[in-house]
Amino acid sequence: MKYLLLFSLLIQGVFTNAFAAQEKHYSASVVPKNMSVAEKKKRFFALLVPAVEDVHKELEAQYQQVQKDIKEHKNPEKIAALKKRYNAKTDKELLIKIRPHPMSIALAQAAMESAWGTSRFFRQANNIFGVWSTSSKQKRIAAGEKRGKKTIWVRKFDNLDEAIRQYYFMLSTAPRYKNFKKMSYEGKPVSEIIKGLKYYSERGDAYVKELGSMIRYNKLTKYDTKVAK
């Protein structure tokens, strides 16, 4: 009996180790050479889906709590502080700004802006969304290009979660995305919401069209359903 138990544990360990060896652990700063498109996507989703999901759930929980507090007339100091941070004048405006937009949009933009997680900004700065730096006080790296004689800088983040939070905050507070946030808050279809991102890129309508194709082709709305459950 003793030997049978020992043999059973040994076999179990062999299979466990074999399974673990098959799993790949990816790093944002390391891009394996000669990856196929399928492997690039696998690495991207392994890195980004858990991070985006965590931040989205965190922001959605905040939205639900603030909505409850407003309804029950609780925590006025907290509400006032959030209004100041998000530059919101009314309760409704605050709720529109703090409600996170669908994960599918965040993942599609991340894939496009970071070339499926292979760009230099992604590798060296955890900058998933191509966010520019506007202050020398921010952690940043040079983009490697200039506008006239002016160097373009992009933000450098300590980790992916920080980059994702900043991305959501940027879209929540920049005036150019006001309609985008409103459509997202109202629960419009993703295909409609993304039209509000026309000014995210200098490419305008072409950017929105590619974003829609990215979401449809890679079936990214399945992540919206997952979060909603």
With beta carbons less than 8 A apart as the criterion, state whether 215 and 104 touch.
yes
Query: What 3-state class would DSSP assign to 153?
Result: strand
**Confidence band of 6 (pLDDT split at 50, 70, 90):** very low
CA distance 211 to 107: 10
* pLDDT tens per residue across span 110-132: 999 999 999 999 999 999 998 88
3-state helix, strand, coil in the chain (%, to 5): 65, 5, 25
What are the domain boundaries of the chain?
38-228
The mean pLDDT of 166-190, rounded to a whole number, is 97
Write down the mean pLDDT value for the chain. Answer: 87
Which of 29-33, 108-112, 225-229 has the lowest average pLDDT?
A: 225-229
β-pair partners for 197:
none
The H or E element spanning position 229 is none
> What is the structure's pLDDT at 229?
44
What phi and psi, each to the nearest 5 degrees, are found at residue 201? -130, 150
Extended strands (E) in the chain: 140-147, 150-155
Selecting from 1.10.3470.10, 2.60.120.650, 1.10.530.10, 2.40.290.10, what CATH number does the domain 38-228 have?
1.10.530.10
DSSP string, 165-176: HHHHHHHHH-GG
pLDDT tops 60 at residue 2: no
Q: Which of 188, 154, 196 is nearest to 171 (CA)?
A: 196
> What is the structure's pLDDT at 12?
52
Considering only residues 76 and 229, tell me which one the structure prediction assigns the higher pLDDT: 76
Count of CB atoms within 10 A of residue 93's CB? Answer: 17
> What is the structure's pLDDT at 22?
44
CA distance 51 to 162: 10
Please state, in angstroms and as integers, the Cα–Cα distance from residue 103 to each residue in 63, 205, 207, 215, following that order. 15, 21, 18, 10
Residue 159 DSSP one-character state? S
pLDDT tops 70 at residue 16: no
pLDDT tops 80 at residue 92: yes
CA distance 76 to 156: 34
What phi and psi, each to the nearest 5 degrees, are found at residue 145? -145, 165
